[in-house]
């Protein structure tokens, strides 16, 4: 059997092999195939300041190191740093900046990201955020300047599934300011379907709670990168701020990521089938899924991604002249689902459905939601890995509960 060859934090074998083996060699002491959980908070030293690589578990832990090793390999990165949540990872990145620094952000991002930027980083850290439609390269070119210190890209975006050309925006940003940091939130696709560092990004961030773990039982975040100096700065912040994951959570994430490649293929297969069904329904105004030819950036998805993922955004038909009709349509659809569970989050093996305007993106100002198209008639689906036929039957049944819209509701 060919052995796994590790080059620093890289692995020359395929992604499935990396998921299972990178950072996860059998325990040297016992030979245990699954690396043990190191729960100790402190480690013995030979003499003051002389230890075996670990002194205190916030600063470093064998189980967390194994997890970071594996995640770095999956993103083709030299380094990975893990955190207690995706927002803790985001906060650490924001601490790289100084007061009055200018940040350009994709206009459509996860509600928690929008909240921390507007309600924490702006008033507390005195950072300046400008939300721009970075899917439009003319808008990106006009927004980016020598004063821009960081660009935050989310692609596909949450929840409207808008794509950003990472290579083009990274080139524009680095030309405007060679020291500008380009960050890509890769949560929706995972490293199985997209590798932003290879497209020119400086940092990749994930809510590892989602597809990386894949089982809705761990909350974690991760940052992947290649630059040694930037790694040292973030490593200092990771330890100094202290938002690190527990060894048990790191162990659970390693356990979940072993099946990432298998899960992502089934997520995509099911999502494409569900999106196609929705697109053909008279109860649906619009479907946003990059795998559909009708997606306005389908060609970019084919060029930039290795697949289309498991996330779908759908707008249901309703009479726009009747107050509350959009919410009524969405509520009836969500309550009629049987296999899709109405719950926040995404990326688990089970199928989930949610209402962004009321749930995940409630913290986004109403005017901004309306501008982005996050209406009361919108539903977000995280398509799981159940049997395809059962999911299709569930969605078809839920659509029968949606009131028929006016004749022009598809326009």
Q: Is residue 110 annotated as part of the catalytic site, yes or no?
A: yes
Residue 390 near residue 350, CB atoms below 8 Å = no
Which of 14, 7, 20 minimizes the C-alpha distance to 255? Answer: 20
Rounded to whole angstroms, the Cα distance separating 222 from 85 reads 8
Distance of CA 207 to the CA centre of its chain: 5
Q: Compute how many other C-beta atoms are within 10 angstroms of the C-beta atom of residue 5.
A: 9
Is 210 noted as a catalytic residue in this protein? yes
- Give the number of other CB atoms < 10 A from CB of residue 38: 19
Q: Let me know if 76 is a catalytic residue.
A: no
Q: What does DSSP assign to residue 286?
A: E
Q: What's the rounded Cα separation, in Å, for the pair 327 and 374?
A: 12
Rounded to an integer, what distance in angstroms lies between the CA atom of residue 202 and that of residue 396?
A: 42
Q: CA dist 272 to 72, 154, 257, 382, 388, Å?
A: 29, 21, 23, 12, 10
Catalytic residue among 10, 58, 306, 332: 58
Peptide bond into 156 cis (omega under 30): yes
Q: Which residues contact 314 (CB under 8 A, 6 or more apart)?
A: 278, 284, 286, 287, 288, 378, 379, 380, 381
Of 89, 229, 162, nearest to 374 by C-alpha is 162
Catalytic residue among 101, 133, 165, 185: 185
Catalytic residue among 78, 210, 263, 369: 210
Tokens of 169: 């925006």
| Residues labelled catalytic | 58, 110, 185, 210
């Amino acid at each position: 059997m060919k052995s796994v060859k590790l080059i620093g934090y890289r692995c020359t074998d395929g992604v499935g092999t990396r998921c299972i083996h990178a950072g996860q060699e059998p325990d040297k002491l016992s030979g245990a195939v699954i690396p043990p959980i190191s729960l100790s908070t402190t480690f013995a030293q030979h003499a003051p300041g002389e230890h075996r690589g670990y002194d205190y578990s916030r600063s470093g832990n064998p189980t967390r190191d194994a997890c970071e090793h594996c995640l770095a390999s999956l993103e083709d990165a030299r380094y990975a740093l893990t955190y207690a949540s995706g927002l803790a990872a985001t906060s650490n990145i924001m601490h790289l900046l100084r007061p009055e620094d200018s940040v350009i952000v994709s206009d459509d991002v996860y509600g928690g990201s929008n909240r921390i930027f507007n309600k924490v980083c702006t008033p507390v850290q005195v950072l300046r955020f400008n939300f721009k439609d970075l899917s439009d390269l003319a808008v990106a070119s006009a927004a980016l300047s020598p004063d821009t210190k960081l660009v935050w890209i989310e692609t596909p975006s949450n929840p409207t599934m808008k794509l950003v050309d990472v290579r083009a925006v990274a080139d524009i940003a680095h030309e405007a300011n060679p020291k500008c940091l380009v960050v890509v939130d890769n949560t929706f696709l995972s490293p199985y379907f997209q590798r932003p560092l290879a497209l020119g990004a400086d940092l990749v961030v994930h809510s590892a709670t989602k597809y990386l773990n894949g089982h809705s039982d761990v909350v974690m975040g991760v940052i992947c990168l290649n630059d040694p100096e930037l790694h040292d700065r973030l490593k200092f912040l990771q330890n100094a701020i202290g938002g690190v994951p527990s060894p048990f959570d790191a162990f659970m994430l390693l356990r979940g990521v072993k099946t990432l490649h298998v899960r992502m293929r089934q997520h995509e297969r099911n999502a494409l089938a569900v999106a196609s069904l929705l697109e053909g329904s008279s109860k649906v105004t619009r479907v946003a899924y990059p795998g559909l030819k009708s997606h306005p950036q389908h060609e970019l998805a084919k060029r930039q991604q290795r697949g289309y993922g498991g996330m779908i955004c759908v707008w249901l038909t309703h009479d726009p002249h009747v107050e509350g009709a959009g919410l009524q349509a969405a509520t009836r659809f969500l309550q009629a689902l049987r296999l899709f569970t109405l719950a926040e989050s995404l990326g688990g093996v089970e199928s989930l459905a949610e209402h962004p305007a009321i749930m995940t993106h409630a913290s986004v100002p109403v005017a901004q939601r309306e501008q982005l198209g996050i209406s009361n008639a919108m539903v977000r689906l995280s398509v799981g890995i159940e049997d395809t036929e059962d999911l299709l039957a569930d969605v078809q049944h839920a659509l029968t509960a949606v009131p028929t819209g006016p004749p022009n509701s598809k326009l």
